[in-house]
Amino acid sequence: MHPAPSIIVFTTLSGIGFGLMAWLGLGLGPDGFWFAFLACGLALGFACIGLVASLWHLGNPQRAWRALSQWRSSWLSREGVASIATLTVFGLYALLWVVFGLRTPWLGLPAAVLSVVSIVCTSMIYGCLKSVPRWSKPPTSPLFVALGLAGGALVVAALAPLSGPAGPAPTWLAAIMVLAATVVWLVWSRKARDTRLDADGSTPETAIGLPGIGRVRLLEAPHTSPNYLMKEMVFRIGRKRANALRRLALALGFALPLAAVALALAVPSLWPLLLVAVLVHLAGVAASRWLFFAEAQHVVGLYYGERG
C-alpha cells in the first residue's frame, strides 16, 4: 500500500508520545522540575503532533469529530476516544507535577494504562483489516506497543540526568525495552514476509467468483491507465530497496540506540549520547513504518493479477 507521510508521522510520534506517558505515569524518572517540564512537554508534544498529522490523511479533516461516535464498531473511533482520555488524564498529572511538584499515582497509573490502550487501538486500526494479511496475521499490536514503550524509555533515560544523578535504572530499562522491541520487530518482519496475499484463502479465482475452474491469469489490464486503487492499494516496492530500508531501520531504530545505551552504562558521563539516540531511534522507527505500509498487500490486488 502507498505509505502516506501523514500516517507515518502519526504512528511514529504518537507511539513514542504515549509510550513516554506510560513510563512517566508509572513513576519512572526523577522528580526534578526540569525533567518533569521537558519529559511531560515532549510526551504531550509527540502525541499531539502525531494525532494532528493523522487528520491530514482525511478528505474532510473538519469532520474528524464525527468519527468519535462510532466507538462501538470502529478501532479508529476507539483510538480517538482513548487518545482524548489519555491526553486529559495525563495533562492533569503533568500540570500537578510541573506546577506544584506533586506526582500523583491516582492520576499517573490511569494515564499509563490509557496510554497503552491508545497504542493498542492505533495498532488495531491496521491489525483488524482482514483484507491486508500482513497486518492481520502477524502480532501487530505487540509491535506497536513494544516500539512505543522502547522509545518512551529511551527518552526518559536521555532526560533523567538533567535533574542531577539519576542512577543507572532508567538507562537499564531503556536497554531492556529497546532490545525487546528489536526482537518483536524481527519476529514481526519475518512473519509478515512469510504471509502471502492468499493467507485467508483469497486468490484471483475467488476474486472473480470462479474458484473451481482452475488457475486463471490476467489477459488484459482492467484499466488503460493507473487508477486510485492501483496507486494506493497495489503499491509496489523493489526488493533491493526494501532490503536496504530494512537494514537502515534495524541500524537506526535498534542497533545504534543499543550501542549508545551500552556506552552510557559503561561511562555515565557519555549520557548526552542518549539524546542523539532518541533522534536516531525515531528515524529508524519512521523507516520501519514506511516498510510497514509499503510492503502491505491489499487483496484488491487480486483483480490486477497479484498472487502472494
How far is it, in rounded angstroms, from Cα 87 to Cα 101? 19
Instruction: Check if the beta carbon of residue 68 is closer than 8 Å to that of residue 83.
Output: no
Q: Phi-psi region for residue 209, left (φ > 0), alpha (ψ -120 to 50) or beta?
A: left
Q: How confident is the model at residue 227 (pLDDT cuts 50, 70, 90)?
A: low
Give the model's pLDDT for residue 277. 96
What CA–CA distances, in Å, run from 90 to 22, 255, 269?
Answer: 9, 31, 32
Give the model's pLDDT for residue 238. 59
Give the model's pLDDT for residue 96. 97
Give the model's pLDDT for residue 151. 97
> Does residue 260 register a pLDDT over 90?
yes
Average pLDDT of the segment spanning 201-221: 73
Largest CA-CA distance found in the chain, in angstroms, rounded: 73
How far is it, in rounded angstroms, from Cα 204 to Cα 209? 9
The residue among 9 and 238 whose pLDDT is bigger is 9
Residues 6+ apart with CB under 8 A from 153: 19, 23, 28, 170, 173, 174, 176, 177, 178
| Cell numbers describing residue 275 | 539524546
Placement of cell 510526551 in the chain: 43
How far is it, in rounded angstroms, from Cα 257 to Cα 260? 5
pTM: 0.91
> Does residue 199 register a pLDDT over 80?
no
pLDDT digits (tens, 9 = 90+) for 263-285: 999 998 899 999 999 999 999 99
Average pLDDT of the segment spanning 291-295: 88
Residue of 111, 167, 123 whose CA lies nearest to 148: 123
Name the least confident of 80-94, 175-189, 235-249, 281-295: 235-249
Give the model's pLDDT for residue 299. 77
Q: How confident is the model at residue 210 (pLDDT cuts 50, 70, 90)?
A: confident
Give the model's pLDDT for residue 239. 63
Average pLDDT of the segment spanning 168-192: 94
Mean pLDDT of the chain: 87
How far is it, in rounded angstroms, from Cα 293 to Cα 241? 14
> Does residue 219 register a pLDDT over 90?
no
Give the model's pLDDT for residue 117. 97
How far is it, in rounded angstroms, from Cα 255 to Cα 261? 10
Average pLDDT of the segment spanning 97-118: 96
Give the model's pLDDT for residue 217. 73
> Does residue 305 register a pLDDT over 70?
no
Q: How confident is the model at residue 58 (pLDDT cuts 50, 70, 90)?
A: low
Name the least confident of 105-109, 152-156, 166-170, 178-182: 166-170
| Cell numbers describing residue 172 | 537499564
Give the model's pLDDT for residue 81. 93
Average pLDDT of the segment spanning 225-252: 77
Q: How confident is the model at residue 167 (pLDDT cuts 50, 70, 90)?
A: confident
Domains and CATH numbers, the chain: 5-304 (1.20.1630.10)
Average pLDDT of the segment spanning 201-209: 73
